[in-house]
A and B are shown apart, each in its own frame.
Chain A
Amino acid sequence: MSTLDTIVQLIYLAAAACFVLGLHQMNSPATARNGNRLSAAGMATAIAGTVVLIAAGEMGTVNLSAWIIIAAGVVVGGGLGLYTARTVQMTAMPQLVSIFNAVGGGAAALIAIDDYIRLSGAGGAIPLEISIPTVLDVIIGSITFTGSVIAAGKLQGLIAGQPIILPGSRLVTAALAAVAVVGALFLFVGNVSLPVFALILLAGLLFGVTMVLPIGGADMPVVISLLNSFTGTAVAMAGFVLSDPVLIIAGALVGASGAILTKLMADAMNRSVLNIMVGGFGTGDAAAGPATGGPGGSVREIGADDAAIQLAYAQHVIIVPGYGLAVAQAQHGVRELAELLEARGVDVKYAIHPVAGRMPGHMNVLLAEANVPYPQLKEMDEINPEFERADVALVVGANDVTNPAARSNTASPIYGMPILDVDKAHSIIVIKRSMRPGYAGIDNELYLNPKTGMLFADAKDGLAQLVAAVKAV
């Protein structure tokens, strides 16, 4: 190992340390931005070190075309990344993360493809310690690529959000998985075959499509997390292929982070990851549980003026935002209302369910964008004991995550799902357009609770009415 090579290897190590420390600083909103910058600095150093290594000829003679490829790739890709990152709407964040995920997984798969073409062209056997990571890289990378593209398409509304289940599609998915596994084993036992490798690649690409198509839009937080974990794993495999420790470390970190988030999201929906991947929930085809409204339940409608009086004279108000709020672009309205109430001495907090939004933590970003101070954003476990003391719980655009049936009704499809204990507040105001059920297709008995007043309006209009009415109080 030359001196220069040693130095760059040490730089890679320092970069890996920056990634870990940067992620560590993400544990508080106060330090998170520095953490991300530390991670970016580590990345920049690692890339610069690689460029130096290439320029010094440590990887063999470099011809001009290689430089042109690298420069053009960085300009095109970096430019596109910069542009989309600067212009994307915060509501579209899940799509963007999916796209970045797709290209990351795609790049990892391309490395494996390129490597395999070279190795198979060189003739001779490929040692198992190269063929295993190469094949795994191409399988995971290709699944991630097409899977993330489909997920982004669904989130963007280019592909129908509902689960798309073609007849026999599960059979096709299983067959594709079988092709990939058999092909992989064929290569592992010592065969070198470019066509088989291409077949595995094709199976992986199609598998990504058939895996994500049947998954409903509301399950996207889980899917995105899972695909994120896949990309990390694919990058780690690329690290094995190229024997590059920094790729292994970075890939493993991301793989772990995606795995944790996947588990958290699935838990927040009270479903197993497997159950979500098999799909079918949130389709409306799952038989809706019987509406157990309880005896004598009826809906009480409330006007904006009455609601405003309740809010204005309350001491503690908890706002429960759901994705409906984001869809209606009503984040600023809710912040305005909260500020008005605070000016009157009301204590306002936000209760955020883990799956509020289309990706983990999405609602927090949307509210932060609307200038809501993060100390007011409370996680489910933290806020649930406080509902008992809340004078008013204001539910805006959230449905299933407030349904008490998840606690009490064993027949309900969402039974066991952790929910926000909105029904424990002294009184409840729900802004909702109609009595239409949420994505799970089940009735919410919260709306029949005698403590609940329904303010029938679009989230944005409803909040505007409340703001005007509170001002007039």
Chain B
Amino acid sequence: MSADLLNALAIFLLAILVGFEVISKVPATLHTPLMSGANSIHGIVLVGAMVIAVEATDPLSQLLSFVAVAFASMNVVGGYVVTDRMLQMFRKRPTVSAPARPPAADEPKS
């Protein structure tokens, strides 16, 4: 086993433990945004998709990497935006006059 692989395994294991530690403190109230937020984090696979796009030379690889980049981008962008949309609804006090308006009309998201 190479030193690199050993390092990678150590990172993997420690990250899982950190994940357990951090996430078990999240209250049930926020489980949906948590899941959707965690979902956006695995959108980091976009970095990997871009790497294979650079290496792609034949049409099949190019097609695969295009789909991978598109999938991952959808994951990242959609995940963060929808999580932000949900979290901004969690308020301590009710806001004055908030009729059910279409959510898309909200202020622009980052």
Give A residues with C-beta under 8 Å from B.
12, 15-16, 19-20, 22-24, 26-30, 32-33, 35-37, 39-40, 43, 46-47, 50-51, 54, 59-60, 62, 65-66, 69-70, 72-74, 76-78, 80-82, 84-88, 90, 93, 96-97, 100-101, 103-104, 106-108, 110-111, 113-115, 117-118, 129, 224-225, 228, 231-232, 235-236, 238-261, 264, 332, 335, 339, 352, 354, 357, 359-362, 364-365, 368-375, 377, 379-380
Contacts and interface: CB of A to CB of B under 8 A. Distances in A.
B80 to A, nearest CB: 4
Contacts of A239: 8, 12, 48
A253 B39 contact: no
Given A114-B65, A255-B19, A360-B35, A81 B50 contact: no
Contacts of A69: 53, 56, 62, 65-66, 69
A39 B104 contact: no
A108 B90 contact: no
Given A32-B90, A104-B42, A114 B47 contact: no
B31 to A, nearest CB: 3
Contacts of B20: 256, 259-260
Contact of A59 (B54, B85, B95): B54
A253 to B, nearest CB: 4
Contacts of A264: 28, 31
Residue among B47, B50, B87 facing the most chain A CB atoms (10 A cut-off)? B47
Contacts, number: 401
Interface of B: 1-2, 4-5, 8, 11-13, 15-20, 22-56, 60-62, 64-95, 98, 100, 103-104, 109-110
Given A228-B38, A242-B48, A87 B92 contact: no
B11 A249 contact: yes
Contacts of B39: 97, 100-101, 104, 228, 231, 254
A256 B38 CA distance: 10
Binding site of B, secondary structure by majority: helix, strand, loop or mixed?
helix
Contacts of B50: 47, 50-51, 54, 70
Nearest to A23: B22
Contacts of B56: 65-66, 69, 114
Contacts of A59: 51, 54-55
A251 to B, nearest CB: 6
Contacts of B90: 29, 32-33, 364, 368, 374
A81 B74 contact: yes
Given A77-B74, A117-B61, A254-B42, A359 B32 contact: yes
A36 B82 CA distance: 10
Closest 7 CB pairs of A and B: A256-B19, A81-B78, A73-B69, A361-B31, A77-B73, A252-B15, A77-B70
B19 A248 contact: no
Contact of B89 (A62, A115, A368): A368
A115 B88 CA distance: 40
Contacts of A12: 47
Nearest to A41: B110
B77 A32 contact: no
Contacts of A108: 42, 45, 48
A129 B1 contact: yes
A340 to B, nearest CB: 13
19 contacts: A15-B44, A23-B26, A26-B30, A33-B88, A43-B76, A47-B50, A72-B70, A73-B68, A74-B70, A82-B81, A129-B5, A228-B39, A248-B11, A252-B12, A252-B16, A254-B19, A339-B94, A364-B29, A373-B93
Contacts of B5: 129, 240
A4 to B, nearest CB: 15
A29 B74 contact: no
B69 A104 contact: no
A175 B20 CA distance: 33
B42 A244 contact: no
B94 A371 contact: yes
A78 B89 contact: no
A359 B35 CA distance: 9
Contacts of B83: 36
B28 A364 contact: yes
Contacts of A118: 55, 61
A66 B53 contact: yes
B73 to A, nearest CB: 3
Given A245-B8, A361-B32, A379 B27 contact: yes
Given A107-B71, A117-B61, A247-B48, A93 B32 contact: yes
Contacts of A357: 32
A73 B41 contact: no
Contacts of B52: 110-111, 114-115, 242
A344 B42 CA distance: 47
A107 B12 contact: no
B51 to A, nearest CB: 6
B36 to A, nearest CB: 5
Contacts of B51: 50, 59, 242, 244
A82 B68 contact: no
